[in-house]
Amino acid sequence: MTKLFRMRRQQTIHARAEAIHRAHAVAEYLPDGTLVDANPAYLEMIGYSLAEILGKHHGMLVPSSVRDTEDYRIFWAQLAKGERSSGRFKRILKGGAEI
């Protein structure tokens, strides 16, 4: 690859990431489930500020009936290995409501 091609490829990847962040609720977690970033759409959806959840575990946003299961531990172990997961997942909002 030429240097120009690599630069354009990086610009394209960056532009796609920016578009996703503008159009979707996005949160970033470490492989152990610790939240390291969230965009405004995600924060608005769950009702927390970034300061309230930064560094906290994803488990604070899921029902205890899910969080306390072996399946939940397996879910994070698989993500840590780079395996993807998709589906519909319940979340607990700041006020306690489930979505």
Give dist(CA 39, CA 44) in Å, integer. Answer: 9
How much is the pLDDT for 7? 87
Give dist(CA 65, CA 85) in Å, integer. Answer: 19
Give dist(CA 75, CA 81) in Å, integer. Answer: 10
DSSP state of 87: S
Q: Is this model's pTM higher than 0.85 or not? A: no
Q: What DSSP string runs through 60-75? A: GGS-HHHHTSHHHHHH
Q: Which CATH architecture has domain 25-99?
A: 2-Layer Sandwich (3.30)
The residue extents of the domains of the chain are: 25-99
Looking up tokens 């759409």 gives 41
DSSP state of 47: T
Select the more confidently predicted residue: 17 or 91.
91
Mean pLDDT taken over the chain: 91
